[in-house]
Amino acid sequence: MNTFLGKRIGVVMGGLSAEREVSLSSGRGVLRGLLEHGHNAVAIEWGDGQELATMLRAERVDAVWNALHGTYGEDGCVQGLLECMRIPYTGSGVLASAIAMDKVATKRIFDRGGVPTPEWTALAPGDSAHDVARRTGWPVVVKPSREGSSVGVTIVEREEDLDAAVTLADGYHGVTLVERFIPGREVQVGLLDDEVLGTVEIRPKSGFYDYEAKYVRKDTEYLVPAPLDSALDTAARAASLAAYRLLGCAGHARVDCRIDPSGGVFVLEVNTLPGMTATSLLPKIAAHAGLDYANLVDRILRTAALRE
């Protein structure tokens, strides 16, 4: 039973992060899906200088479909506001959102909880990225700890390119991480309401599934489901569900994994508000599981709740 039929649903999109344009694309798709299902839905395009609480009160929303990405929308800030306003929302709660958005906190919990993840180091003031990279072994991945959509991420194969990669990552939110690059296959796992929906393997033509490959280029290949043998498929699903549960996630999520040539599965991160654009991965996974876009949007709405 859908308890939100007839309720006023605010689709919050845009936001204040570097992923604003992706969020707007996600939000507009979600709004169309909700309207197609007969929901009383309204777009709330939040931007710089606007007070989200005022906008929510003006629209008199009963629930929020959170289509924000990145800082302030995916990191527990908006979730905390909605908890205070007692407005149910989609996605994970305050704590899980904050942890999953912070790659350092996520890595520490993965290491303690037994979820396999690549070797990593958070650069502290005065640390030499060159010493870390030599210790880790080339190539390395340099990334900001509190961004999504591959914003500020560089795969560094040569030492002479390392300083530029660190400078790029330093320009975004959070500390900078240097992580061991895992060669092999990129597989992502979709989850909904504590269950695995399915998998997708990504084969970008550029060799790296960066922002351009995700949202601009049209030559990235997506294989749904990921063509894994039974043992690898089971391992990827199990690691992803373990990561989701270990962080305390709720509702929908997508887990990014790498599988090395020897069959080792490594969890990179958990996306608690995965993209919902026309090219996003969760809708592709859901479609193979029998959920078209509009039905996926409706199913996610049914998971909306106060989490704390």
Query: Quick check: 277 and 67 in contact, CB under 8 A?
Result: no
Residues tagged active-site: 19, 149, 215, 254, 256, 269, 271, 275
- Edge-to-edge strand ranges of the sheet holding 40-46: 40-46, 8-14, 63-66
Pairing, β 8-14 against β 63-66: parallel
Q: How far is residue 125 from each of residues 91, 170, 175, 189, 194, measured CA to CA in Å?
A: 34, 11, 10, 35, 39
What own/partner pairs with CB < 8 Å and gap ≥ 24 does 21-24 have?
22/69, 22/149, 22/215, 22/275, 22/277, 23/67, 23/68, 23/69, 23/70, 23/73
Spatial CA neighbour of 185 closest among 255, 265, 114: 265
Buried b (16+ CB within 10 A) or exposed e, 263-277: eebbbbbbbbbbbbb
Write out the two tokens for 137.
């072994």
Spatial CA neighbour of 277 closest among 13, 2, 5: 13
Distance CA 239, CA 243 (A): 6
> What's the one-letter identity of residue 197?
L
Distance CA 279, CA 228 (A): 22
